[in-house]
Structure 1
Amino acid sequence: MNPYSIPPLLTLACFLGLGVLSVLRGRYTRVNILFCMLCVLGCFLYTDIVLIFNVRSAAAALWISRIDHFFIVYTIPVYIHFFHAYLGIEKRRWLILTAYGYAFVLMCFTPTPLIIESMQQHYFGYFGKGGMLYPFISAGVGFASLYSLVQIHLAIGTAGNNSRKNRLKYVFAGFGFMGLMNGMNVLPLQGYDVYPPGNLSFLPLIVFAFGIFRHDLLDMGILLRKSLLYSILTVSLTLLYTLIIIAAEILLKRHDIADSVWFPILFFIFIVVVFGPLKTKVQSLIDQVFDKDKYNYRKTIKHVSRTIVAVLDYKHIARLLLDTIADAMKISSCVLFLPRSRNAGFSCFSFPFHSDASERADGFSRESALVKYMQKQRRPVVRIRLAGDSAAEGLEDVLADMDKLEAQVALPMFFEQRLNGFIVLGEKKSGDLYSREDLDLLETLAGQSALAMENARSYRRIEDLNKNLERRVAERTRDLKQALKEKERTQEQLIRSESLAAIGQLVAGAAHELNNPLTSVTSLIQATIEDLKQWNPATPPDEDMIDDLQFADRELRRARNIVASLLGLSRQTQTYAESVNLNTVVRDALRVLHNQYKYQDLEISENYCRDLPDIQGNFSNLGQVALNIIKNAIQAVPRKKGKIVLATRVDPAEKQVVFECRDNGPGIAQDMRQDIFKPFFTTKPVGKGTGLGLYICHEIISRHGGSITLENTADQGGCFLVRLPMDRGAVSP
């Protein structure tokens, strides 16, 4: 075997491997079909080169080369067509059609000397000599190579994300330079005695193959692992070792050293000295490529596990999870979706940095395609893997959801067979794809976080139950205290009512007992006066005696009026539907209090409305109100030149009758006014008042549907206003 045929053989192996890979793993898309066609044409080309390097007949070599060129002229249009499809160039279709027509015309001349005139013997073997029309093939190949390189370069400049840029760079360095190197094969065809540069195309093809595994250039859904690279490295070194042995035997078989016992020993030493360090160096290079900006897998897992165990706040857990992923993976966006409620879908919880995708995704229903796919697959949803999952239903909808989130990976969080949330990861800042190690770490973190979040939610529910229980206990305690206060107040009112009732009964009894003798005495005096007036005119009675009897009659009549007032005020009726005249109530109260002010220098002005309508109420209760208010006024005015104004009137606008009691006393301080209607509050000295008078008045007026207020006065003194409704239905106490 010609040792110069090793490079084209390696290039043939690369084309063959890439072609098989595209058939087995690639989808039937336009890009993959065109890529497979380029691989087939590459296999034709380098099968031709390997054969013509090793045949001994120039005629056979010429025949093989012309057959090969019958097909490989289509490399020009297929190459342009592939890059148009890969870059999404929809314009300039005319260029593709022109290229195919151009190749068809050239194909018609490939069996003739116009394309391959003859074979030339070079130091590396036979190689064709171009005919008159071969410069057209050279021009087509050159144009296709340069045009494609320019288009890739422009696409790299306009790429929107790092992942796209990295993929285009690998295509540029791999397939782009491969086309350029193959175009330079025209040099020996034009008669130059140089080794065909295209035979070294296995180098850019290896770069392209690495990009396929590393960045999924053709959307085959393949992830590269270091273990796979180590295996490929071992196989490659073994093949290289075998090729070196073959080449050494071919080169040295004409020399005696090949039959010497020292040859295998020296060759073994050479292999050990060269290939051992070479393998180590290449492995170190692989480690540097894979471990660049890489996280410590075990350290990350250990750190997160220790931290979330001690955290019972699910928000803290979520923040820790997102920060850990963002720091470890160096990703552009990371969004966590947590369930709103049991069956209400998912909403965006938080993210460590700004993400346009999170702003566009307010939430996801449990019926969305992405959520259903995660529930069905129960594993991370990787965008590049969806390309190979053509059998899955609704795949387009899943990809649409991932496009909405700008997601490369969707990581489900399961707890007890239930989807408890999911994490959406954008592309890495470096543009690299997610490796198997990345996905292993993410699955572990998601599992631990799902359990920790469920524990935190359970703790929060228990905490909420405790708070609700404490709140209910506090409310119940407050209600019980209020009920106890109400009970005590009711008991006090009952005692006071019973006391007032007893006093009323006592007053009523005493008044009744006094009324009988007063009536008798009054009748006797009136009869005596009548008899004296009818006395014999000749001997008339003493006039002073008659005046004294008339005075006694008037005083007895006043005493009877006082007793009648006491009887009226002491009536303990249980109805609030009596017809009550407020003028009468005030007059009776004033009459009862006459003895308390008759010796004071006090002026009482009475301004009663003559047409004051009756109201519905309780006569005795309203009398008690009038008694308390007037009594307070009598006690408040000065001992000399005291003045009290009692007035009643009608307020037609409010449909009320009004009783006003105004005095010229010292009044009540402003800071005490809000407390005067509270029970047991008094401004009087100790022992002079109980503090219940105005409180009782306020309660009675409130039961009548009215109001009692202390008004501000321009002069010194106090002014109480009692307002009672004129038209009011019957009210029971």
Structure 2
Amino acid sequence: MVLGLTMPFYQIIYSLPPFLTAALLAVMAFTALGRGRRTPASRLLVLLCLLGSLLYVDILVNFNAPSASVALATSRIAHLFYPFLLPLFIQFFHAYLGMRRRLLERLAYGYAVLISFCAAGGWIISDVRRFAFGYFGQGGPLFFLLAGGAVFVAVYNGIIIYQAVLWEDRSIQKNRLKYVFFGFGLLGALSSLNCLTAFGIPIYPPGAFGFFPLLVFAAGVFLYDLLDMGALLRKSLLYSVLTTLLMAAYLLLIFPVQKLFKAFELTESPLFPLALLVLTALGYGPLKQRSQEIIERFLAKDRYDFRRTLRHVSQTIATVLDKEKLTRLLREIIIEAMKVKSCALFLVDPADGHYYAVATAGAIGTQTTLTADTLSVRHLMKSENALMKQHLLGAAGDKHADALLGELARMEGEVVLPMRFKQELKGFLVLGEKCSGRMYDSEDLDLLEPLCCQSAVAIQNAHDYQALKALNRTLERKVAARTRDLQVALAEKERSQEQLIRSESLAALGQLVAGVAHELNNPLTSVTSLLQSAVEDLQQWDGGRPVDETLLEDLRFADKELARARAIVASLLGLSRQTQTYEEAVHLNSVVSDTLRVLYNQYKHRSFNIIEQLTDDLPALRGNFANLGQVVLNIVQNAVQAVDVRGGRIILSTRYDAGARQVVFSCHDNGPGIDPVLQRDVFKPFFTTKPVGQGTGLGLYICHQIVEKHQGTIELASTEPHGTIVTVRLPTGM
């Protein structure tokens, strides 16, 4: 027969409270025993729940005992163990609060042994009495000792919990203490009120309603991890509590179903139990699954929003290369997504190895700079796990844990998450309390730790990018400085080249001075002699006679010679001008003519021919007359020195290349030519094929520099069977 079919409905109602309380205590005990952290408080809680569950089973058995003797026997057996609940309550609260009152605990256990001994003799429970809800044990002559102890324990635990709540500053711990107080504190108080029924007062035992404070405690376990179980185990506890409540609902529904089947006279049918079983399976299973789905959806809502936020953040921080903007973004996201009161992001300074708070929000405490020797920093370097205050509180009394707790207190931090890049601690994230007062759990860490890893990579990338930008700026400054230096050096080089050109030009002209002086001396001597003769003739001239034709011829010859001297001087002055303008109009034929006039004294006594093939009507160049004269002078002078004294020939030609819009000058001699191996070096400075002391090696180099300044080209080549041709191309407009 299915449970409840032979039990009156009112009896089910009376039995449900102790059943729920016993079931919830058992669920908590086995959850904490099998999966919780092994702390003194958790071990004591397991014993407390197991013993409490057995005692509530005793109440449930007494309510449904078939006779008074059975109820009395079970009640006396239960009260052999019941006194030990009192010292267990005291020791549990001491361990949870970190209190050390060994004397009181020993006295409480001695008291429990004494009461248990008295219970064995029947002095605690003397009889049982039948009430509307069932049998319940009645107090004996010494029951007042048990009742007084229960009241004392309830009051004492309430006082120490209340004081701890008042003294606690952290909202998380304060909320945890409140849940413990309203959970097991209220459970102890309700259990102590069972003494009223034991004294014969006809009321339902208040302790049977212990499932209410246990549900509050279960909520605290889930929200604040009172037993340090972790998120997965807290969900398991929540589902176990849900299963217990659904079982209670099943017991309540079974009676109306029985009435319904009885009305149709189906209760005696053999199909009734099977139908009831099928109905239960079809209803209970889906209801439980649906309830779990609702709870999962409710619990996962914030997690889903946070995950979505983190995905967005991960995509965003990958594109941010500004370090300050990135740290500010992380701070804002953490504050908004995690709903925390404070947040601080510490990053290492490579210069000194210290960790500085670069982005903060809320009250972050007084410690904003940490060295690498700080205990918390060393802990994060050695361990890859987050540093959580709630875990350290469970190890209170340990010197290392106490020191870490002190540093966390100075940072106002509840959890510290490392930020690593290539196994190096680049920084860490310090989070304060949640605005909700809830604790950080493993699910929070599962979401935050990947964010910290991605943030470490993003911050390192931003740091590298900024370092690269700084290096680029430094390089740009260095390049600008070097450019200025090069410009100065180039200007100096140009001044040196110009000075060299002037020096070489003056040196070349200096070599011509003797010849030019001799060339000027001849016409001037002739002119002087003729003028002296003309003066004598004029002194003897009779005004009545006509002018002597010979005198006129002498004067005409003198004027011609003076004109020749003036042309030589003009050519010499033109080739020796020191102006550096490149915008004057230059006629290349005039440059060639002036050069030949200045060089005439060097070749007039030598038996070779200089052939001029100058094209008329050449367009004018834009350049420097003196510099171009120096080019032609050097080229022609080299040709004069290269050809044989007899049979030599130099052809000087000019022409206009209309397609290239260039004026072309060429000097072709029939000298020995230049070895092709040496031709590539002829325009280099200080290169010469002449004997030592007869050349500086700067002539053609200076020609090359001058032609380049005129945006032209100069080429040298050997001709067949022998000889050399030098070609200069100059644009008609610069």
Work out whether the TM-score is over 0.5: yes
312-321 or 49-58: bigger deviation: 49-58
Q: 1:29 to 1:446 in 2, by over 3 A?
A: closer
Q: 1:216 to 1:186 in 2, by over 3 A?
A: same
1:340 is aligned, of 330, 345, 349, to 349
Return the alpha-carbon distance in structure 1 between the equivalents of residues 162 and 483 of structure 2: 78
317-326 or 168-177: bigger deviation: 168-177
Q: 1:401 to 1:463 in 2, by over 3 A?
A: same
Matched with 2:706 is none
CA drift at 1:173: 1.6
Deviations 1:476-525 (A, max 9, x none): 23434555677899999999xxxxxxxxxxxxxxxxxxxxxxxxxxxxxx
SS in 2 for 1:128: strand
SS in 2 for 1:344: coil
Matched with 2:138 is 129
Matched with 2:454 is 448
Q: 1:420 to 1:473 in 2, by over 3 A?
A: same
Return the alpha-carbon distance in structure 1 between the equivalents of residues 352 and 140 of structure 2: 76
Q: Which amino acid aligns with 1:190?
A: F
Q: 1:179 to 1:279 in 2, by over 3 A?
A: farther
The answer to whether residue 177 in structure 2 is matched with residue 168 in structure 1 is: yes
SS in 2 for 1:421: strand
Deviations 1:286-345 (A, max 9, x none): 8667758x7822441344234324321112101100111011112122121222229935
SS in 1 for 2:347: strand
Q: Which amino acid aligns with 1:305?
A: S
Return the alpha-carbon distance in structure 2 between the equivalents of residues 24 and 265 of structure 1: 37
Matched with 1:457 is 463
Q: Which amino acid aligns with 1:325?
A: I
Q: 1:230 to 1:223 in 2, by over 3 A?
A: closer
CA drift at 1:159: 1.8
Return the alpha-carbon distance in structure 2 between the equivalents of residues 492 and 99 of structure 1: 112
173-182 or 79-88: bigger deviation: 79-88
> Contact 2:24/2:244 (CA < 8 Å) preserved in 1?
no
Matched with 2:93 is 83
The answer to whether residue 381 in structure 2 is matched with residue 363 in structure 1 is: no
CA drift at 1:133: 2.1
Return the alpha-carbon distance in structure 2 between the equivalents of residues 9 and 128 of structure 1: 18
Matched with 1:543 is none
> Contact 2:218/2:238 (CA < 8 Å) preserved in 1?
no
Matched with 1:49 is 59
Return the alpha-carbon distance in structure 2 between the equivalents of residues 284 and 241 of structure 1: 18
The answer to whether residue 42 in structure 2 is matched with residue 36 in structure 1 is: no
Q: Which amino acid aligns with 2:90?
A: I
Q: Which amino acid aligns with 2:56?
A: Y
> Contact 1:319/1:352 (CA < 8 Å) preserved in 2?
no
Return the alpha-carbon distance in structure 2 between the equivalents of residues 127 and 291 of structure 1: 47
Matched with 1:138 is 147
1:428 is aligned, of 429, 434, 437, to 434
CA RMSD in angstroms, aligned pairs only? 4.4
CA drift at 1:105: 3.3
CA drift at 1:364: 3.9
> Contact 1:361/1:404 (CA < 8 Å) preserved in 2?
no
Return the alpha-carbon distance in structure 1 between the equivalents of residues 275 and 51 of structure 2: 43
The answer to whether residue 421 in structure 2 is matched with residue 412 in structure 1 is: no
Return the alpha-carbon distance in structure 2 between the equivalents of residues 416 and 380 of structure 1: 17
Q: Which amino acid aligns with 1:445?
A: L
> Contact 1:117/1:129 (CA < 8 Å) preserved in 2?
yes
Matched with 2:316 is 307
Return the alpha-carbon distance in structure 1 between the equivalents of residues 68 and 278 of structure 2: 38
Return the alpha-carbon distance in structure 1 between the equivalents of residues 414 and 427 of structure 2: 17
Q: 1:127 to 1:213 in 2, by over 3 A?
A: same
Q: 1:285 to 1:149 in 2, by over 3 A?
A: farther
> Contact 1:334/1:426 (CA < 8 Å) preserved in 2?
yes
Q: 1:153 to 1:127 in 2, by over 3 A?
A: same
Deviations 1:204-240 (A, max 9, x none): 112212312321224x242368965774466345534
1:205 is aligned, of 211, 214, 220, to 214
SS in 2 for 1:74: helix
Q: 1:248 to 1:374 in 2, by over 3 A?
A: farther
Matched with 1:7 is 17
Matched with 2:627 is none
TM-score by length of structure 1 reads: 0.57
Q: 1:69 to 1:192 in 2, by over 3 A?
A: same
Return the alpha-carbon distance in structure 2 between the equivalents of residues 425 and 303 of structure 1: 20
TM-score by length of structure 2 reads: 0.57
1:70 is aligned, of 80, 86, 91, to 80
Matched with 2:335 is 326
Return the alpha-carbon distance in structure 1 between the equivalents of residues 274 and 417 of structure 2: 56
CA drift at 1:175: 0.9
Matched with 1:119 is 128
SS in 2 for 1:117: strand
Return the alpha-carbon distance in structure 2 between the equivalents of residues 423 and 176 of structure 1: 37
Q: Which amino acid aligns with 1:22?
A: A
Q: 1:171 to 1:33 in 2, by over 3 A?
A: same
> Contact 1:410/1:424 (CA < 8 Å) preserved in 2?
yes
SS in 1 for 2:129: strand
Q: 1:433 to 1:122 in 2, by over 3 A?
A: same
Matched with 1:22 is 32
Return the alpha-carbon distance in structure 2 between the equivalents of residues 144 and 237 of structure 1: 29
Name stretches of at least 5 consecutive residues in structure 1 with no aligned partner.
496-733
Deviations 1:162-215 (A, max 9, x none): 101110111122111111211121232122333322122122112212312321
Deviations 1:572-610 (A, max 9, x none): xxxxxxxxxxxxxxxxxxxxxxxxxxxxxxxxxxxxxxx
Return the alpha-carbon distance in structure 2 between the equivalents of residues 250 and 133 of structure 1: 45
> Contact 2:28/2:237 (CA < 8 Å) preserved in 1?
no
Return the alpha-carbon distance in structure 2 between the equivalents of residues 152 and 33 of structure 1: 19
Q: Percent identity?
A: 38
Q: 1:77 to 1:334 in 2, by over 3 A?
A: same
SS in 2 for 1:48: helix
Deviations 1:498-555 (A, max 9, x none): xxxxxxxxxxxxxxxxxxxxxxxxxxxxxxxxxxxxxxxxxxxxxxxxxxxxxxxxxx
Return the alpha-carbon distance in structure 2 between the equivalents of residues 253 and 189 of structure 1: 39
> Contact 1:178/1:198 (CA < 8 Å) preserved in 2?
yes
CA drift at 1:157: 2.6
Matched with 1:239 is 247
Q: 1:224 to 1:331 in 2, by over 3 A?
A: farther
CA drift at 1:373: 4.9
SS in 2 for 1:167: helix
Q: 1:326 to 1:302 in 2, by over 3 A?
A: same
Length, aligned pairs only: 491
Return the alpha-carbon distance in structure 2 between the equivalents of residues 17 and 58 of structure 1: 30
Q: 1:402 to 1:361 in 2, by over 3 A?
A: same
Deviations 1:234-254 (A, max 9, x none): 634553455447667888999
Name stretches of at least 5 consecutive residues in structure 2 with no aligned partner.
502-734
> Contact 2:387/2:416 (CA < 8 Å) preserved in 1?
yes
Q: 1:47 to 1:26 in 2, by over 3 A?
A: same
Question: 1:139-158 maps to which residues of 2 (within 5 A)?
Answer: 139-158=148-167
Q: Which amino acid aligns with 1:135?
A: F
Return the alpha-carbon distance in structure 1 between the equivalents of residues 16 and 399 of structure 2: 47
Q: Which amino acid aligns with 1:420?
A: K
Q: Which amino acid aligns with 1:362?
A: T
Q: Which amino acid aligns with 1:454?
A: Q
Q: 1:254 to 1:52 in 2, by over 3 A?
A: farther
Q: 1:124 to 1:486 in 2, by over 3 A?
A: same
Q: Which amino acid aligns with 1:332?
A: K
Q: Which amino acid aligns with 1:158?
A: W
Return the alpha-carbon distance in structure 2 between the equivalents of residues 136 and 233 of structure 1: 35
SS in 2 for 1:296: helix
> Contact 2:417/2:428 (CA < 8 Å) preserved in 1?
yes
